[in-house]
Structure 1
Amino acid sequence: MAALSVGTLVVFGLIAVALVLFVTETVPPDITAIAVLVALAVLQPWTGVRATEAIQGFASTATVTIIAMYILSEGVQQTGVVERLGVVLARVTRGDERRLLTATVGTTGVAAGIINNTPVVAVFIPMITGLADRAGLSPSKLLLPLSYAAMMGGTLTLIGTSTNLLASDLSRELLGRPIGMFEFTPLGLLVLIVGGAYLLTVGRWLTPARLPPHQDFTDEFDLDRYLSRVRVGEGAAVVGQSIDAVETTLASDDDVDLLQLKRNGETYLAPSSDQTVAVGDVLIVRGTLQSITRLTEAPGLRLLHRDDVGEEELVEGPGTLVEAVVLPDSGLVDKTVAATGLEGALHTTVLAIRRGETVLRESLDDVVLDSGDTLLLQTTDEAVDYLVSDGDLLVTHRSADDPPSPEEPAEAVAPLSPKTPWALGILGSVIALAALGVVPIVIAALGGVVAMVVTGTVTTADAYEAVSWNVVFLLAGVLPLGVAMQRTGGDAVIASVLVGSADVLPVLGVLALFYVLTALLASIITPVASVVLMIPIAVDTAARIGADGFAFLLAVTFAASGAFMTPIGYQTNLMVYGPGNYRFSDYLRVGGPLQLLLAGVVTLGIAFFFGV
């Protein structure tokens, strides 16, 4: 075993702290990464990482290329091509579960190989949910395969995922050779075919139906005991008061939200109405039975015991109901519902929050939002449009959603932008230039960004907003950790331990071991951090046992791109967590066998296509 120096122990200590922070998310992962960067520079006498080297991650070709690819993906997304793919999917499937699942896996997998898989999944979630409803299927049966297919599709090309680009950068530094655009496409295609076959057979049986189809929003979030009608009679203190004043009083006194005012057949959405309360009005309110009972003990207010208040009534007038997921890089994360300003700025009321298996319905203003939370919102169409464009929330389902009819022309359902030829041509040119080696991928991608902006395919503002800056900072922050591992000999220490496995395992067995270890690590922390930590160790181990370092690098890369076993392992997993009403264990139940299957497929595939 290699000697443990003080520097090695310091770096291992930083890694241990970072892993704990990544897992617990006490602070956001990108902030943890920046903290690691700062610590490495401050402790330079032991880590060997100078300040200038600590920040070089921001200028690495992988980081810059990822920024450019986010913008190129945004340009393609704005053309409506992805939505058109959804219409084609609806035409092909026509309500059949097996065909719908096949089309979902195939379409998503291929699309994720050429544009960022996150926007693909974001666009497909509401469409898949609607198609499942129309076919009488549980959306849960389709959403998890949607995420898994997007992850596997990312292994088709160099630009499929950020981990691929990072691995290419590390391959150039450690082995003296970058990865070509389509160099591992045959292996990626094998992964997609085998993984897709699993999802259509065993995975289809293992994937649970957590949500019934065609379910009323109020039933889905079990709100029947929290919604009531209250009639305003003579002598009520609220008569003559503005809706805003009444709502403020109710919220502060009894934790009751005023949702709607109904008068003479007209319905007014409370947060956006300037009406004053009059005798004979009916108020639709949300609150616990105890709080509403206390409310109606006041003179002039009477609780109406009739049918439950359902979705149909809540969408009368200008209101609509939407289900939306808090995205990992959302500005709403770590804010209370009251502090988000949803009600004041967007006239939007949070009716319930689903977090894992728990649904929160009480004292919602004080709930601190977390990434992956699913919110049930009563809002307006204008507010929904803003929420979609703002990017803090992913609207996955709305009460007015109606999947496209097979008889409707595709042009009417999903019209393409006049800039579509420009966007597709620019993306194709970027891929071709990089694949032919005319210019490096980073230069081709940046040139594509310039072309996108110059042609008006994306605006400058859209370009900056398209980038997931948390991913960029995470990547730039953890890259120096790999440098520190090499400078202090930390990678050699771990490699010397793993080399011992070669005494009892063949080279293929050691290769599979690295796949499994990386997959486990990526499912707990981020795939980016897993690649940075594991690739130097894998390359060192390969050199010690006389194996091909590139083969071991590929095993780590493919394993990091397939963090199937937890909802926190990959962003698309988290995006479908709430809309599918999944449990944490569902990912292990469906993703665990898939992970083991692909461990064998990737190991044998690397041996066949590249040698070990």
Structure 2
Amino acid sequence: MSLFGIPLDAAVVFLLIAVVLILFISEVFPNDVTAIGLIVVLAALGPSLGVTTADALSGFSNTATLTIVAMYMLSAGIQQTGIVDRLGLYLASIADGDGKRALVATVCSVGPIAGIINNTPVVAVYVPMISELADRVNVSPSKLLLPLSYAAILGGTLTLVGTSTNILASDLAGQLIDGRDGIGVFEFTIVGIVILFVGISYLLTVGWKLTPPRVPAAFDLIEEFSLQDHIQLVYVREESPIVGATIDEIESLAECNVSILQLRQGQEVFPAAQTDRPIEASNRLTVHGSPADVAAFVSAYMLRELAQSTVTEETFETGDENMLVKGVLLENSPYIGMKIAETQLQEFYTTTVLAVKRDGVLYKTDLAEVTLKEGDLLLLQTTTEAIDYFLEKATIFLVDDSAYDRFFEEDLSEVMPLSSKTPLAVGILLSVIIVAAVGLVPIVIAALGGVFAMLITGCLSPTDAYESVSWNVIFLLAGVIPLGIAMEETGGAAVLATAIVTAEAVVPVVLLLFVFYILTGLLANVITPVATVVLMIPVAVDAAVRIGVNEFTMLLVVMFASATSFMTPVGYQTNLMVYGPGGYQFSDFIRVGAPLQIILAVVTTISIILLWGV
């Protein structure tokens, strides 16, 4: 039985893929939640699709999934040694006050590192450092942060362990190509070096010119979030009815939509969330609200606006106890989908959200009702204790880190001391790579062995190991891997491959590979690279068999195209990490990333053909 010439079971899979793509793009549900639902649907439809329950659950036991889990943990072990921080800071010092040298130091250091350590934690270390460095060399952080993300993506193409897509491609190569057990750790490194060289050359020249300075250099955070009119200092008159009241009592009675952020008594400053001191005459209050609401608040309580007193970032810096910081909500944050009032950040963590930036839109009022989304940039009034919690639990990715500020005034070894276990952790990681490279054991065993070694030697604690894994990515894999199996079992991959065979009759093979690279890259920019690899590699290999093209060549085209997605902030986790801090617009990723994607499509396709033929 067929539908428009397509086997009915294959048509069902295509319909399922279409629904999944729509859900991935629209993000009605988080992608990992969609993936869990996909597992359930595949298991339910299994008998009609030739997919067993074991197949539907196979994503969890897949060697690629287990390898990716292990690599997350190994990367965490290396990160905790402090060696990445030290290396990044050392290379940043080469900038010596020059913006272009800062760019060179950034992209030339992060690229090679990302070849052996998962690039997401590498970028997490670099973002606050680069933000501080940009301030020191008087260049817009926007000019450095996008190249940082792109360099990390480029570095991921250097080795098999550089990115999750490479590991997935290796697993699929072993399944789909006769005579192959997978891909060697350094088997495609020559192509990766070419890609990294071309990509860095682009970032240092054309990319530098195309990257817009969205956030002005050395910008005060109050100015950056345009809060000059929304945060004011007010003076408490003697006749004011709030004299003798506490801040909590005022806010519970106030009819105006105003928040009190600080109580200033003489030279002493008390964060509102941390004090129950009664307000006295001649005190000053730092308040947050729209100009109209602040004016109403002042009038209602017989206060006086101190118009001549400008509120800046320094206004909130009261020693180590209180400060302003920027934070980004990444896809694993528990606050996504919650209204700010529901997060209870102020109640539990003495943290106040002062503004939210999203896709170029700035929210400054009625913040309690703002529903948080992935990629939101938050301006927070918070404490060092809360910052430590956010860093430890990864609930909010903080852009600011005072350690990098101290680096420029103090000795590097004192600011960023290395762990005593640094040589051991580095030795374990190198051993994993060497053992896997020479083929002594499969990479999944080598990686799990490395995790075991780090755990028993104390380089990594079990808690840190589990918390280092991006479980949303693992569940995404667990859902799309059985979808790939369903495509194979129902002949869906063969149907798509037939269409490619038809195109091959009128298009040269080299051009066909180039077009396939572009289409795969576009898909990766929309539905994530890991999902793209799983869905496209079976089609590519099947098409290669039908038109007589080297199967491994086609597989590598898909692998590299999926691993290099530059054109959207959601196409790669590192792009999302710099999206808010750089003040970028969605179009900036197309403006800077599209030319790079096209250049690499040509360079990579030619390199693969020269090395593996067609």
TM-score range, shorter chain: over 0.9
> Hey, what does 1:343 align to over in structure 2?
346
Q: What is the Cα deviation at residue 400 of structure 1?
A: 8.5
2:361 is aligned to: 358
In 2, Cα distance between the equivalents of 1:423 and 1:171? 30
Do residues 199 (structure 1) and 203 (structure 2) align? yes
Shift of 1:383: 1.5
1:210 aligns with 2:227: no
Unmatched segments (≥5 aa) in structure 1: none
Aligned to 1:220: 224
Change (3 A) 1:249 1:107: farther
Distance 1:12 1:299 in 2: 64
TM-superposed deviation, 1:259: 0.3
Distance 1:525 1:448 in 2: 31
Give the AA of the match of 2:222.
T
Distance between the aligned counterparts of 1:321 and 1:201, measured in 2? Answer: 35
Shift of the 99–80 alpha-carbon distance from structure 1 to 2, 3 Å rule, reads same
Separation of aligned partners in 2, 1:299 and 1:513: 68
Q: Separation in 1 of the partners of 2:301 and 2:595? A: 62
Correspondent of 1:593 among 585, 595, 601: 595
Q: Deviations over 1:276-326 (max 9, x none)?
A: 222222111000111111111224322222232111212235321101111
Contact 1:494 1:537 in 2 (8 A): yes
Contact 2:129 2:401 in 1 (8 A): no
| Alignment of structure 1 residues 57-96 onto 2, 5 Å | 57-96=59-98
- Correspondent of 2:394 among 391, 395, 401: 391
For residue 462 of structure 2, what is the amino acid of its counterpart? Answer: T
Most deviating of 38-47 and 466-475? 38-47
SS at match of 2:6: coil
Does the CA-based 8 Å contact 2:234-2:284 persist in structure 1? yes
Q: Matched residues in 1 for 2:414 and 2:516: separation?
A: 50
Give 1:425-504 correspondences, 5 Å limit: 425-504=427-506
- Do the aligned residues in 2 keep the contact of 1:321 with 1:399 (CA within 8 Å)? no
Partner of 2:536: 534
Map Cα deviations across residues 117-168 of structure 1 (whole Å, 9 max, x no partner). 0000010011111111111101101100100010010011111111111111
Cα distance per residue 1:453-511 (max 9 Å; x no partner)? 11111111111111100000001111011111011111111111111221222221111
- Supply the AA of the counterpart residue of 2:473: V
Contact 2:233–2:309 (8 Å) recurs in 1? no
| CA distance in 1 between partners of 2:301 and 2:257 (Å) | 19
3-state SS of the aligned residue for 1:376? strand
Q: Which amino acid aligns with 1:168?
A: S
Kindly report which structure 2 residues correspond to 1:326-341, keeping only aligned pairs within 5 A, or say none: 326-341=329-344
Quote the Cα distance in structure 2 between the aligned partners of 1:74 and 1:398. 19
Q: Does 2:297 correspond to 1:289?
A: no
Instruction: Describe the SS at the equivalent of 2:32.
Output: helix
Matches within 5 A, 1:550-589: 550-589=552-591
Alignment of 1:28-67 (within 5 A): 28-67=30-69
* Distance across 1 between alignment mates of 2:515 and 2:48: 31
CA distance in 2, matches of 1:257, 1:9: 56
User: In structure 2, what is the Cα distance between the partners aligned to 1:43 and 1:82?
Assistant: 47
The code of the aligned residue for 1:370 comes to K
* Aligned residue in 1 for 2:282: 280
Check whether the contact 2:130–2:141 (CA below 8 A) recurs between aligned residues: yes
What letter matches 1:267 in structure 2? V
Q: Deviations over 1:559-584 (max 9, x none)?
A: 11111000010000000000000000
Shift of 1:332: 1.1
Measured in 1, the distance between the counterparts of 2:425 and 2:253 equals 52
Aligned-pair identity in percent equals 52
Distance 2:154 2:302 in 1: 62
Q: Is the 8 A contact 1:47 1:484 kept in 2?
A: yes
Q: Name the CA distance, whole Å, in 2 between partners of 1:519 and 1:371.
A: 22
After TM superposition, give the deviation of residue 110 of structure 1 in Å.
0.4
Tell me the SS of whatever aligns to 2:555: helix
- Report the alpha carbon displacement of residue 235 of structure 1 after superposing the two structures with TM: 4.1
Q: Secondary structure at the match of 2:139?
A: coil
Which residue does 1:179 correspond to in 2? 183
* Aligned twin of 1:23: 25
Report how far residue 449 of structure 1 moved: 0.8
Partner of 1:313: 315
Determine the C-alpha separation between the residues in 2 that align with 1:296 and 1:137.
39
For residues 481 and 104 of structure 2, the distance between their equivalents in structure 1, rounded to whole angstroms, comes to 38
For residue 162 of structure 2, give the secondary structure of its aligned residue in structure 1.
coil
Q: In the alignment, is the contact (CA less than 8 A) between 1:227 and 1:285 conserved in 2?
A: yes
Partners of 1:248 and 1:22 in 2: CA distance: 42
Evaluate the alpha carbon distance shift between residue 359 and residue 471 of structure 1 in structure 2; reply closer, same or farther with a 3 A threshold. Answer: same
2:193 alignment partner AA:
L
Say which of 207, 218, 239 aligns to 2:243.
239
Moved more, 418-427 or 84-93: 84-93
The 8 Å contact of residues 112 and 120 in structure 1, kept in 2 or not, is answered as yes
CA distance in 2, matches of 1:39, 1:299: 60
Q: Note if contact 1:74-1:466 (Cα within 8 Å) is conserved in structure 2.
A: yes
Q: CA deviation at 1:255?
A: 2.2
For the residues of structure 2 that align with 1:101 and 1:524, how far apart are their CA atoms? 28
CA contact (8 A) 1:267 1:316 kept: yes
Query: What RMSD over aligned residues (CA atoms) do the two structures have, in Å?
Result: 1.5
Quote how far apart the aligned CAs of 1:403 are: 6.1
Report the Cα offset of residue 609 of structure 1.
1.5
Contact conserved, 2:329 with 2:336, CA < 8 A, in 1?
A: yes
Residue type of the alignment partner of 1:539 = V
User: For 2:59 and 2:485, how far apart are their aligned partners in 1?
Assistant: 10
Aligned-partner SS, 1:477: helix
Q: Which runs of 5+ in 2 are unaligned?
A: none
Contact 1:322 1:399 in 2 (8 A): no
Distance 1:153 1:403, change over 3 A: farther
Q: 3-state SS of the aligned residue for 1:223?
A: coil
**Is the deviation greater in 113-122 or in 226-235?**
226-235
Q: Give yes or no for contact 1:34–1:478 (8 Å, CA) kept in 2.
A: no
One-letter amino acid matched to 2:235: R
| Inter-partner Cα distance in structure 2 for 1:566 and 1:445 | 31
How far apart are the structure 1 equivalents of 2:492 and 2:34? 20
The corresponding residue for 1:9 is 11
TM-score (norm 1): 0.97
Maintained 8 Å contact 2:406/2:415: no
In structure 1, what residue type is equivalent to 2:523?
A: L
- Is 1:508 the counterpart of 2:500 in the alignment? no
**Residues 242 and 301 of structure 2 are in contact (CA less than 8 Å); yes or no, is this contact kept in structure 1?**
no
Q: How far apart, in 1, do the equivalents of 2:110 and 2:402 lie? A: 25
User: How far does residue 401 in structure 1 lie from its aligned partner after superposition?
Assistant: 5.6
